[in-house]
Chains A and B, each alone.
Chain A
Amino acid sequence: MYPDYMMKSVEMVEKTRPQRLELARKLGKQVFPPMNEKEREDVLNRFHPDYKKESRRKIRVGVNKGEQLTTEVADLLESYSRVDPAIFDLNKADYDTDVLVIGAGSAGMAAAITAGINGSNVLLATKLRLGDSNSMMAQGGIQAADQKNDSPVLHYLDVMGGGHFDNKPDLVRALVNDGPIAIKWLEDLGVMFDKNEDGSMMVKPGGGTCRSRMHSTRDYTGAGICRVLRDEVYNMPDRIKYLEFTSIIELILDDKGQAVGAIAYHLETKQYSIIKARSIIIATGGFGRLHIRGFETTNHYGATADGLVIAYRAGANLMFMDSVQYHPTGAVFPEQILGFLCTEKIRTMGAQPVNMDGDLFVYPLEPRDVEASAFIRECTERKKGITTPANRVGIWLDSPLVDQINGEGAIQKNLPAMLRQFKRFDIDIVKYPMLVFPTLHYQNGGIEIDEKGESGIPGLYVAGEAVGGIHGRNRLMGNSQLDLIVFGRRSGYWASERAKIGVKVGKLTMQHVYDYEKEVSALNIPKKKIAPIILPDYIPDHVKVKQKTTEYFGTLF
């Protein structure tokens, strides 16, 4: 439970609740006026972590040399390979496959299934177990314009507006037009979407949407989808072979510059192996575990941007890697769940963000960057946040409103994961508000692709969070889960087609790694700075100094 001094603020929230409930009954979601373009700009400029000068710096090596990137990303990219490629005999492949898929989240598994159905042999290599990924953790929903009062055109506008119009138009078009088809594909595989009696989809709005088009499977939407895809992967043993606890640490090109293989590393047995493939799909997800700007994260343990590192070394172009998505509502109390996601669905179901006095201060459903910035403003400039015993600051998300607006039991029925999460640590969100602050959530940018999912390197495809361009500099809730399926399937299909047509593979080489390392060493970067980092390192300093001979997978140095 909250300590007494925090309960004093909770009492203020309880005091203003009846009025705010009245307001919600009258005005629906618009309990506070949404910001106009100017106001948005102002709050972003002054409070969003991305807009701080030290958040970005010039990258000094590789394709994007000279561009401003998120500082931690630039740090990660200016690094050496984990191994000297010279130790491998590239002519002796341990695996030979049509399509290699790297990463078994929903994007990777959708790609593997699609390529398999299209007749290719697929090798799916993943860092932890199948499905241990950000995909499994999504709670809120997946967007698609399938309602009568909606259309792919309106969806297009929302995606572009949310992304501040920087998005790649062709990718957005593919996303919105394929949206309903992706939902049907999932339902046919057996995903249990929330539905009304008559079979129509139960849809909710989301931050920055002009229509209700958020589909869900309770508040386990990511799991609802990802576990079905995983089961389907298990059901295709003749087509899909999978390797778990296996990280890809480098790509192999041929002398024509095509992507034709990769080097894998087994986390437990520490063996390296060589994989040959006709096409390769990177589906390695995001970068939350880089803890950018020192933020806590919602991401899974393996979210360390490995795909970016290996693709960048091989010469792929990155887009929008100067932008980071902070989710407005990460848990701040208790400490055990620090940074954990409090799904946006809580707000779409009526919960309101309020300050220490119980006052509303922002429209609850602004696009995420705007909403997060408003929270930071409330806690810093306006000093209206609530401080925890561990000296962290947050604002209240008034969850009890959800039941009051939607009827008793609404939280239990629609937000079971949230309810359980807090109950485990003795807080009943049906009765008490949740303390929240922005948390590092999503990698808006990534590797540039075309409509088929192919990067600038022939034979190298990318799907999922590792892609850049679809969402510009700000993704809206529910559009990521959609892009996983849309571009997972597209990349899977085209990678498989490429393999079928027959690729003339030249001489295998890792020259790109040497060339890249030459650039890095010209900057006098110490040799021990290696990437991909594979896993973050949470061992405390006083223990670490004693682990003299341990190899640190996860150390950035």
Chain B
Amino acid sequence: MSEKQKMIKVFIMGEAYEVPEGSTIVMAMEYAGYQLKKGVGCREGFCGACATVYREKGDYKLQGGLACQTVVTDGMTLAQIPFVPAEKPVYDIKKLKPDIDTIKALFPMVFRCVACNTCTKACPQEIKVMDYVQALKRGDVARAANLSFDCIRCGLCALRCPAEIVQYNAATLAQRLYGRYLVKKSPELEERIVEIGEGKYDQELAELEKMPREELSKRYYAREIKLK
């Protein structure tokens, strides 16, 4: 928004408002006088609370986006979708196996995917949603976890899916299975935990804890910086 604010017209839930050009949807709604409670969260594109559907002037396409990340255009008409109804299966991650049987048991819905790619087109995070759903169908948990990594659970994919799949819930499961079971454990981490358990650092830490400020400051500025 430069000094001379140009105003444009947007339709929020059908009602026309004049708002400054260059506003995001969140900014436009607040400018219009809405005190937002739902449909807003981090305001920076990380939490997925502000899924919004809209059409642009003269365009038949129904588009989706995050209200905090989408700039309004003249004649845009929009509605927020603060919540997507979906059930999430309850599971104990410690008792699962990272394989196709787990997917079958918890998310049988993914096997209904008709590979229409609507979800990928709907995703504001540019995730290859269909590809991760397909990976899940093959039991390729690692691929699904990595492809879906940037998912912020905005729900826009699930809203558009003709097969009524809740992609993001399946993605979360894949990510957790991958993190817990499919990556190699870090040997250094395991060793360090044993050392800590044995109290290896207790004495030195106790000394530092009691050290007078000046001496501690000396130790601090004298410490060697070794960055990889």
| Residues of A near any B CB (own CB < 8 A) | 28-29, 36-37, 128-129, 131-134, 136-137, 145-149, 151-154, 156-158, 160-161, 165, 169-170, 172-173, 176-177, 180-181, 183-184, 187-193, 195, 197-201, 203, 205, 209-212, 217-218, 220, 222-223, 227-228, 231-232, 234-235, 237, 245, 267-268, 298, 300-301, 334-337, 340-341, 389-391, 416-417, 420-421, 424-425, 535, 537-540, 543-544, 546-547, 550, 552-554
CB of B38 closer than 8 Å to a CB of A: yes
18 contacts between A and B (CB under 8 A): A128-B41, A132-B41, A133-B47, A153-B208, A156-B208, A172-B209, A180-B192, A181-B196, A184-B193, A192-B149, A193-B183, A223-B152, A268-B38, A301-B41, A340-B44, A543-B32, A544-B33, A553-B35
- Shortest distance from the beta carbon of A478 to any chain B beta carbon, whole Å: 14
Given A148-B188, A199-B187: A192 touches B179 (CB 8 Å cut-off): yes
Q: Is the CB of B49 within 8 A of A389?
A: no
Complex Cα spacing A188 to B178, Å: 10
CB of B13 closer than 8 Å to a CB of A: no
CB of B97 closer than 8 Å to a CB of A: no
Complex Cα spacing A341 to B217, Å: 31
Name the prevailing secondary structure of the A interface residues.
loop
A389 partner residues in chain B, CB cutoff 8 A: 2-3
CB-nearest residue of chain A to B177: A190
Give the number of chain B interface residues (Cβ < 8 Å): 78
Complex Cα spacing A525 to B23, Å: 37
Q: Is the CB of A220 within 8 A of B46?
A: yes
Q: Is the CB of B213 within 8 A of A165?
A: yes
Give which listed residue, B41, B45, B185, B205, contacts A152 with CB less than 8 A.
Answer: B205
Complex Cα spacing A28 to B227, Å: 9
Q: Is the CB of A146 within 8 A of B189?
A: yes
Q: Is the CB of B149 within 8 A of A137?
A: no
Q: Is the CB of B41 within 8 A of A539?
A: no
CB of B10 closer than 8 Å to a CB of A: no
Q: Is the CB of A198 within 8 A of B184?
A: yes
- Shortest distance from the beta carbon of A165 to any chain B beta carbon, whole Å: 5
Complex Cα spacing A391 to B4, Å: 12
A158, A337, A538: most-surrounded residue (chain B CB, <10 A): A538
Q: Is the CB of A131 within 8 A of B47?
A: yes
The 8 residue pairs across chains A and B that have the minimum distance between CB atoms: A199-B184, A190-B176, A161-B220, A190-B179, A132-B41, A192-B179, A190-B180, A169-B209
A552 partner residues in chain B, CB cutoff 8 A: 35
A205 partner residues in chain B, CB cutoff 8 A: 227-228
